Structure 1
Amino acid sequence: MLLKKQTVWLLTMLSLVIVLSVYYITSEPQSQTKNDFASTTEKAKEKAGSKENPTATSEDGKTTVTETASGEGFESLRLKLTDTRNQQIEEYEIQAGSADLPAIKKSEALDKIAELTEIGRKEEILEALLKQTMGYEDALVRADGDHVRVTVKTKEKHSAKAANEIIQLVRSEIGSMKITAVEFKPAK
């Protein structure tokens, strides 16, 4: 019975990986090539010059709030994060499908797969909420371990009030994870 349950779970996760892979393969390609992207990043660094980005600490005293001029696009970062997470899931799927590992290790691998999938789902939900309910042009939420980093693209200057609203939204969705940074990226 346990083996059938694990097989169904494994097939479900494999299906999810395949669907995500097809989605990213068929989604719109990035308009910038690697060379264009590198030159854009260099131009952003030159434009920023030697002045530092304004930084503040939120009311909770634990979260850093910054305005960043990073040249790396949200889609590129999202793609890297998804690729890394898919590789981790694939490694856990191999472990779960191994005949040499004891059942407890296979179960732990399946739990890790479920955890990574859930974190990815919550990141997507938060990004959509930040864009739709709070009106940001784009948002990137990166959960790593028990830390969360949020970057939003906005035309307005960052404020402690906006950062605290973001923190409250993230806490309501993610729960016990620590929000380590809220970054405001100027929109063009």
Structure 2
Amino acid sequence: MRANKRTVWFLTLLSLVAVISIYYLKKEAPMDLDGMAIFGEADKMTVTKTGDTDSVKKPVYADSMKLEEMRMEVKNERSNLKDQLTTKMLSSDMTAEEQNDAYNEMAELIKRDSAEALMEMQIRNLGYPEAFVRKEDGKVTITVVSDDGGHSNKMAVEITQFVMTSWEDARSVQVVFME
């Protein structure tokens, strides 16, 4: 028995709609940013969860956006550098040694990117909500958003000590707090 093409397409579409409908019906938790005031003064912007009886309000930090901008700048910088290194590696004008040096530099850049991302995750695990890590020539700069509004030398020492013990080639560490 041969099925009509329209019938097959209709049944496929119907089953897809059924699966998607069940997924959204079974979804229990609403998104965290439901009910967020989009328009308003930036310093008074808050996030509330719909359906909460407590109506707990948490401030939205513009500082995390600054950290994202810093990440994007570094990513663009390194992307341009990677493009230049790729061009060198694929160029027939370069010697084998120069191409090998470009390859090694690219590998080091990728290694540094992943090490910085890992360090950011580890700093978040220490209890800081948002962190940005950048390493240049042995100097590590860490920008941390402080959620409680206050920061102390103890916190800076804790982060510095953690970075110095985790990264063997970190010669100096600078911790900057954003409130």
Q: Could you state the TM-score of these two structures normalised by the residue count of structure 1?
A: 0.58
CA shift digits 1:65-116 (9 cap, x unpaired): xxxx979611111111111111111111111111111111111101110111
Distance in 1, Cα, partners of 2:87 & 2:165: 34
8 Å Cα contact 1:122/1:173 also seen in 2:
no
Amino acid at match of 2:137: G
**What RMSD over aligned residues (CA atoms) do the two structures have, in Å?**
2.3
Contact 2:112 2:135 in 1 (8 A): yes
Query: Highest CA radius of gyration, 1 or 2?
Result: 2
What residue is the counterpart of 1:100 in the other structure? Answer: 93
1:149 aligns with 2:135: no
Q: Residues 84-163 of structure 1: matches in 2 within 5 Å? A: 84-132=77-125, 134-156=126-148, 157-163=150-156
For residues 28-107 of structure 1, the aligned pairs below 5 Å read 73-107=66-100
User: Which residue of 165, 169, 172 maps to 1:179?
Assistant: 172
> Shift in Å at residue 158 of structure 1?
1.8
Change (3 A) 1:90 1:79: same
Q: Distance in 1 between matches of 2:167 and 2:82?
A: 20
SS class of match (1:73): helix
CA gap of 1:173–1:180, structure 2 versus 1, over 3 A, is closer
Offset, 1:174:
2.3
Whole-Å Cα distance in 1 between the matches of residues 96 and 118 of structure 2?
Answer: 33
Deviation, structure 1 residue 180 = 4.0
Which letter does structure 2 place at the counterpart of 1:83? N
- How far has the Cα of 1:184 moved from its partner? 1.0
- Unpaired runs of 5+ residues, structure 1, are 1-39, 44-68
Aligned partner letter, 1:125: L
For residues 172 and 152 of structure 2, what CA distance do their matches in structure 1 show?
Answer: 16
Alignment CA distance shift 1:183-1:86 (3 Å): same
Task: Report the residue type matching 2:108 in the other structure.
Answer: E
Alpha-carbon shift at residue 172 of structure 1 (Å): 2.8
* Equivalence map 1:7-22=2 (5 Å): none
Answer 1 or 2: higher relative contact order, Cα 8 Å, separation at least 6.
1
Query: Matches of 2:77 and 2:137 in 1, distance apart?
Result: 14
Corresponding residue SS for 2:151:
coil
Distance (Å, rounded) in 1 between the aligned partners of 2:85 and 2:167? 23
Quote the offset at 1:173 in angstroms.
2.9
- AA in 2 matched with 1:80: E
Give 1:170's aligned residue.
163
**What is the identity, as a one-letter code, of the residue corresponding to 1:147?**
K
Q: Return the offset for 1:178.
A: 2.6
Please give the TM-score of this superposition, normalised by the length of structure 2. 0.61
Letter in 2 for 1:169: F
